[in-house]
A and B are shown apart, each in its own frame.
Chain A
């Protein structure tokens, strides 16, 4: 997750305000922001730390000593490993599916005026602002009514459901700001609408689709509440952690949490650096 897009939209005249601001509290406020950041990071630090804890029993509660052994024994717990694999698979499938479905909606809403667009907007707003609890619970009632067994498939269905609207929202915003003259030029040159879409429009909205995919991936891999209602005995990474809280969380969970965190941060930083380079070239 980066803030690069924010920077791009920042008003160019920003430095103009600066010289005139001489708030006495500015230093105090800077300190305050750092306190907030420290507070946000504290539990993450604790999580990372206890991945290195040389705990003997099943309860990884108090600090015993430093060790790397949990990193070496990362995949020792078959259920935990399986849960992580499930999480990744579900996240990949659901983010791709929701990107495909969400892009269609987002494109249509951004480009055309059509009957039913209002209802669709309403449903999208509802999925984004409804409590996850209600969405998960209602899906459970649907599956129970239809006598559909629960598992990876129902989890994926649910994740696609709540991700579509996010993807569509991002894509719609991008389509609305597109310069239509480029497409018109393509049409004037004799390209069919189909060709125009794939050769001209799609590359232009691709960044939005891509951020939609990543957003859906992030939503899926971290989802607990909806998943809990639609999983049955299938476990995902968050569900495994939830189950383990009752009986002592194995240090491997901390290690996996740490690795996921590191991978995410690394990915975000790289993406950010690359997008900065790209904007500089522009």
Chain B
């Protein structure tokens, strides 16, 4: 008796012997005819069942009869929580709800594509809470009816503590489906020991001196934003002509082999391994990388400006434990919890009161720890001032699906080609 074997002669003989002829091909076309019935039916979308504003009784309909189950699964991003998960431990201690936190999202496109078939079949995706960015995939999630309507009455901490800007986000008016997890800026991260100079400008990403050592994002919106800023256009107000110009600029960067690769969150790894020296980056990641791995990378918002985005907590419509998820969402708006999270992840905190809390917490520390904690509490990357916001740009806004598709078709070939 023998184990499976690619060298099994009978297998190899079987693989190599039969060739098919014309008659077989005819038979195959017969088969194709049988399936012609199927050809007529397409992939059904889930659109129109839901839109920017939910039906008035949607909230009641969804939440009716839902109860706390004592557990939930949370789909997050890497570098978005202290690996020791202190906040979740406190949540479990307080409520008895066990949280299974998994860093399964690294980019919006793949995440939407991965869960779309399950959600449209009305099947659980195994997660009750997910953090998604305000990119066009957010709209796709919402318009497909994949997001549960939130009962704001059950989110008292959010109502009380969230900053005003975080209560009227353009992508989700009235926070019907989402509340912010954190905001962040997209800028440039670099390894000073390799670049041998400070990086200040977007054009440094086009510098031939860094040929093959530049990282850009594979997320089409993130990539396009930098292309647009590089040609002097404001993403939020950009036109189709701007897109073409930006695409040409990005294409040039690629054709000159300046770009090493288009990355999702793996750019952090690439920076760490020396694969890239300078890369598009998200503001908080680099701080956490430096803390956990003892590296000394820099993060900078380029002179021409960076972009700001918001990642949002949402509940998939098929969630098995939505009540528990809603409780956790509100828990992150308790001031001490928000402060604890922000002080670790270094992303923009949606709770303004957290700044005072962080300063107070820092006061209890001594020496270097105190300095570090104070630095975060006063960081303009965590609590941006009005002047900071002025330098930041918002994502491209799409009027229609066809416009968004045109945008995709303009920039996709750069990443994929």
Contacts and interface: CB of A to CB of B under 8 A. Distances in A.
Interface of B is mostly: loop
Interface of A: 1-6, 9, 56-59, 61, 78-79, 118-119, 121-122, 124-125, 128-129, 140-141, 143-145, 147-151, 166, 169-170, 172-174, 207-208, 210-218, 232-234, 243, 245-248, 267-268, 271-272, 274-275, 278
11 contacts: A1-B7, A2-B5, A61-B272, A119-B27, A119-B28, A149-B117, A169-B14, A170-B11, A174-B10, A214-B3, A243-B106
Given A61-B273, A246-B264, A246-B265, A125 B18 contact: yes
Nearest to A177: B10
A118 B23 contact: yes
Question: Which residue, of A59, A148, A274, has the highest number of chain B Cβ atoms within 10 A?
Answer: A59
Nearest to B264: A246
A58 B292 contact: yes
Contact of B117 (A144, A216, A245): A144
B212 interface: no
Contacts of A1: 3-7
B282 to A, nearest CB: 13
A185 B118 CA distance: 56
A58 B83 contact: yes
Contact of A173 (B11, B44, B115, B127): B11
Nearest to B43: A144
B100 A78 contact: yes
A121 B2 contact: no
Given A9-B9, A149-B122, A170-B14, A233 B2 contact: no
B303 interface: no
Contact of A243 (B7, B104, B115): B104
Interface in B35-81: 38, 41-44, 78-79
B118 A6 contact: no
B3 to A, nearest CB: 5
3 tightest Cβ-Cβ pairs between the two chains A and B:
A173-B10, A149-B123, A169-B14
B320 to A, nearest CB: 13
B15 A211 contact: no
Contacts of A3: 5, 7
B268 to A, nearest CB: 8
A148 B44 CA distance: 11
A104 B310 CA distance: 57
B4 A211 contact: yes
Contacts of B168: none
Given A118-B23, A271-B2, 11 more contacts: A3-B7, A5-B5, A118-B20, A121-B20, A122-B18, A207-B2, A208-B10, A233-B118, A247-B106, A268-B3, A275-B2
Interface of A is mostly: helix
Interface of B: 1-11, 13-15, 18-20, 23-24, 27-28, 31, 38, 41-44, 78-79, 83, 100, 102-104, 106, 114-115, 117-118, 120-123, 125-127, 264-266, 268-269, 272-273, 292-293
Contact of B8 (A56, A124, A170): A170
Nearest to A234: B126
A243 B43 CA distance: 27
Nearest to A213: B4
Contact of B106 (A5, A172, A246): A246
Given A121-B20, A122-B27, A172-B14, A79 B102 contact: yes
B417 to A, nearest CB: 18
Question: Which residue, of A79, A147, A245, has the highest number of chain B Cβ atoms within 10 A?
Answer: A147
Contacts of B23: 118
Nearest to B79: A247
Contact of A233 (B4, B7, B127): B127
Contact of B103 (A6, A119, A148, A247): A247
Contacts of A215: 4-5, 8, 11
B1 A210 contact: yes
A16 to B, nearest CB: 21
Given A4-B2, A233-B118, A268-B3, A151 B123 contact: yes
A78 B100 CA distance: 9
B9 A5 contact: yes
Nearest to A264: B3
Nearest to B122: A149
B14 A232 contact: no
A248 B106 CA distance: 12
Contact of B3 (A143, A169, A173, A211): A211
A46 to B, nearest CB: 15
Contacts of B28: 119, 122
B10 A169 contact: yes
Contacts of B100: 78
Nearest to B26: A119
Contacts of B15: 128-129, 169
Given A147-B120, A151-B118, A246-B269, A233 B264 contact: no
Contacts of B106: 243, 246-247
A149 B24 contact: no
A268 B273 CA distance: 37
Given A119-B24, A145-B38, A247-B78, A150 B118 contact: yes
A147 to B, nearest CB: 5
Contact of A166 (B11, B24, B83, B120): B11
Contacts of A129: 15
B121 A149 contact: yes
Question: Which residue, of B6, B115, B269, has the highest number of chain A Cβ atoms within 10 A?
Answer: B269
B281 to A, nearest CB: 15
Contacts of B4: 1, 211-218
A55 B213 CA distance: 26
A140 B8 CA distance: 32
Contacts of B1: 207, 210-211, 271, 274-275, 278
Given A170-B10, A211-B8, A247-B78, A272 B3 contact: yes
Contacts of A274: 1
Contact of B7 (A6, A144, A210, A232): A6
Contacts of B272: 59, 61
Question: Which residue, of B10, B78, B127, B293, has the highest number of chain A Cβ atoms within 10 A?
Answer: B10
Nearest to B125: A233
A245 B8 CA distance: 34
